[in-house]
Structure 1
Amino acid sequence: MSDESANAPEPLRGGGWVRRWRGLAPTARRLLAARFWRSLAQGALVVDLALYLHALGWSGTAIGGVLSGAGLVGAALNVIVGVTSDRLQRKPFLLVYEALTCGCALVAMATTHTAALAAAIVLAGFGRGANGAAGPFSPAEQAWLAEAVAAPQRGMVYSLNTAIGFAGMALGALAATLPAVWRGALGPADSYRPLFAIVLLGNVVNLLLLWRTPERRRVRAGRPVTAAGRAAGAAVRGRENRFLRQLAGLNMLNGLAIGLTGPLITYWFGVRFNLGPGAIAPVMALTFLATAGAALLGGSLTRKAGLVRVVVWGRAGGVAVLLLLPLMPVYALAAVLYGLRSALNRGTIGARQALVVSAISDERRGLAVSLNALSMQIPMSLSPVIAGSLIGAGWFVTPFYVAAVLQAAYVLLYARVFAPQEAEILRTSR
């Protein structure tokens, strides 16, 4: 294994976030910067894509269906990318993702033809609000980042990664107000199409950024030659497989819950309170900023409270807020609760990712990240069709309460399953 300084994990000691950023290896800094550029477009489209399709005359079921299709295609690609990137290199997959998304953005800018637009949305995963992640190619992204960060610091670094993504999405959400400005000149539907230029800009910047980022060559571990070595390897593999099975089962609950509320929240606001992007986008921007702050706080807390406790505390608070949100009679109150719920719930993403990449050895880390995503994406892809139909029929409360029950079960089981394992995971991780 080579010892390239651009990839060598560096210890990150105390101090402010600026000092911690400077302490990161150059590869880690570039991967975090790439997340920011992706998140700009994702922030704009998570606000406006459903509203754009609604303006084109798509039904709630059709909107939910295309988002579900994007999730299913992404889930299939996740597995391929995760397994293959473990055997090859991570960098080429991210370059392919950026180029593919560039092409889809050009299609979305050029036409409103239903089939072409649906294909672009499905292939690129537009509108799913991935917090700056590289869509179905994120297993390569997360595994590459883990190689550049020492195991004890991953909770902090992955939380910083989450915060950067949400900060970029906040800026992107502000850009989502632009269709209201252009509406008079371009028309109700066409006023949304220039937003895809933001996608194009971010992907072009990332192609240049990642092209110049070096990746070390990994040497696959050889098979143990002694009986004791083979037994130790089998024990490690068994522990990792058990962790992945438990993770997949819990993620199915989490994915169903997220799919019922997350992808269609702007559509819910628009139909429930009769609002357009001018009213919704600023709220989403503030929500993403609050979530970025929560992610930074969560990253600091992981050093003292541990990864599992940070996840459980945040997600439990999110369940309580989720029960109240659909009961709010006015948009202002619903918006405040949505922002609070997002901060509590999604501010723990970095801690959850850090636990996954630390639990699995480097040789299988891409596989672990893809299974983590796959087990959430499949149920998360089925839920928007159900939620879209319910919202379109005027059932505004039901999706939230079903999601709250699923989230509560997830929190209880997450604490019970992973709290006893955390110390051993961090002790043996590399």
Structure 2
Amino acid sequence: MATARPDIVRLMGARGARSIAQGALVVDFALYVTKLGWSAALLGVVFALSILFAVAVTTLVGPASDRFGRKRFVLVYEAISVLAALIGLLTQATLPLAFAAVIGGFGRGANGSAGPFAPAEQSWLSGLIEKREFGTVLSINTAIGFFGMGIGAVLAGLIGASRPMFVLPLAASLIATMLLALTPDPPREAAARTEGHEAVSKAENSLLWKLAGLNILNGTGIGLSGPFISWWFAARYHAGASAIGPALAIAFAAAGIAALTTGRLTRRLGTVRAVVLMRGIGLVSLFALPFSPSFGVALVVYALRSAFNRGTAGARQAVALGLVRGERRGLAASVNTISVLLPRGIAPALAGVLFESGALAAPFLLAGLFQGAYLVIYPRVFGRHDPSRSA
């Protein structure tokens, strides 16, 4: 089994370490800065700037990693994360803390990925496995991230929304750096410029444009609801970190189980069909969430939504990376990431304004409309490009 190889285990271990810290900050960061006097609108702007920063960096990293190698870029991410965590530990002043949140992605919950440097990490991992294994292995990788975020959410409830929470991202980055330093970056094969090279590249580019268009719908839906979930639980049900932490931990654990389930389904149904089935159930849960009459009911609905929606992340990465040849996977990963991140950089600002005005259901309903459109179009575009059907 590919996942037993030491180099793959180390890459997944680095993801697990990061995910614990990211899970803690999903719970505590919004609550922490709210205690410091930040408004929902300001928090939305910071989330938006964080995502726009990620878009700018991701635009460069994917293609550059195709040319110069993957490892060095992921190590740069860890250095940035160390800097952001140190700022969080050393000051509560608004401007430096906002700067740290932007470059460190505080509170966004990247599921253990290397933030804007994730395209380099994804193409690094994909280069170690066969194409037909993409759906299964990347789903396992995703599951590790969710289980780690669940552990982090529990720790967040124990630590509370306070400055010591920044010890977790600092420790995670140091552990990840050690694991990555021990992992070789295999040499990339030079692109073979055959007679049909230009035609193949043109066809791949067309698919990437279609992927980007669909991801704009998906990313808008994510940005309208995801970053504010901790804030929403507090505003809607008056829940604190001690209750929200375990609640999100359950949701992350459910997503991890769903990711493993999706990985198995890719072998039976195909990757694209597995995505559609799981996300269809998640969409129903998203529409139901804002109408939950109590915190307990909301927790169950959110756990279902998280499981069936987020659990397809690895499978969707597999489809994106499978659209191109190996020497262009950094580019494909960048396009896949950017086209989700860009609308996620705009949508939180709108969601923040809506939440601040008291419209606690509207962002979820809008998110459901965008993600529903995505779900209808996705199989029609990519059904014929399923990596699990590759020889």
TM-score normalized by the length of structure 2: 0.98
Q: What secondary structure sits across from 1:360 in the alignment? A: coil
Number of paired residues? Answer: 391
State the Cα distance separating 1:273 from its structure 2 match.
1.0
User: Matched residues in 1 for 2:304 and 2:323: separation?
Assistant: 30
Find the counterpart in structure 2 of residue 199 from structure 1. Answer: 169
Equivalent residue runs for 1:154-233 within 5 Å: 154-180=134-160, 192-224=162-194, 229=195, 232-233=196-197
Are the structure 2 counterparts of residues 90 and 426 from structure 1 closer, same or farther at C-alpha, using a change threshold of 3 Å?
Answer: farther
Find the counterpart in structure 1 of residue 390 from structure 2. Answer: 427
1:346 counterpart = 2:310: yes
Contact kept? 2:323, 2:385, Cα under 8 Å: no
Find the counterpart in structure 2 of residue 300 from structure 1. Answer: 264
Q: What secondary structure sits across from 2:378 in the alignment? A: helix
Q: What secondary structure sits across from 1:154 in the alignment? A: helix
Contact kept? 1:358, 1:426, Cα under 8 Å: no
State the Cα distance separating 1:284 from its structure 2 match.
0.3
Equivalent position amino acid for 1:128 in 2: R
Contact kept? 1:173, 1:281, Cα under 8 Å: yes
TM-score normalized by the length of structure 1: 0.89
Contact kept? 2:140, 2:259, Cα under 8 Å: yes
Equivalent position amino acid for 1:301 in 2: L
Equivalent position amino acid for 2:359 in 1: W
Q: Give me the CA root mean square deviation.
A: 1.3
Equivalent position amino acid for 2:243 in 1: A
State the Cα distance separating 1:51 from its structure 2 match.
0.7
User: Matched residues in 2 for 1:400 and 1:202: separation?
Assistant: 32
Find the counterpart in structure 1 of residue 51 from structure 2. Answer: 71
Find the counterpart in structure 2 of residue 95 from structure 1. Answer: 75
User: Matched residues in 1 for 2:302 and 2:49: separation?
Assistant: 26
Poorly superposed stretches of 4+, deviation over 6 Å: none
State the Cα distance separating 1:415 from its structure 2 match.
1.3
2:210 pairs, out of 242, 246, 249, with 246
Find the counterpart in structure 1 of residue 199 from structure 2. Answer: 235
User: Matched residues in 1 for 2:185 and 2:342: separation?
Assistant: 31
State the Cα distance separating 1:361 from its structure 2 match.
1.1
1:32 pairs, out of 6, 9, 12, with 12
Equivalent position amino acid for 2:32 in 1: Y
Render the CA deviation track for 1:280-311: whole Å, top value 9, x for unaligned.
10000011111100000110110110010011
Q: What stretches of structure 2 of length at least 5 have no aligned partner?
A: none
User: Matched residues in 2 for 1:122 and 1:56: separation?
Assistant: 17
Give the percent of matched residue pairs that are identical in Structure 1 and Structure 2.
Answer: 46
Equivalent residue runs for 1:8-407 within 5 Å: 12=1, 21-22=3-4, 25-180=5-160, 192-224=162-194, 229=195, 232-407=196-371
Q: What secondary structure sits across from 1:258 in the alignment? A: helix
Q: What stretches of structure 1 of length at least 5 have no aligned partner?
A: 1-11, 13-19, 181-190
State the Cα distance separating 1:223 from its structure 2 match.
2.9
Contact kept? 1:261, 1:387, Cα under 8 Å: yes
Equivalent position amino acid for 2:88 in 1: A
State the Cα distance separating 1:394 from its structure 2 match.
1.1
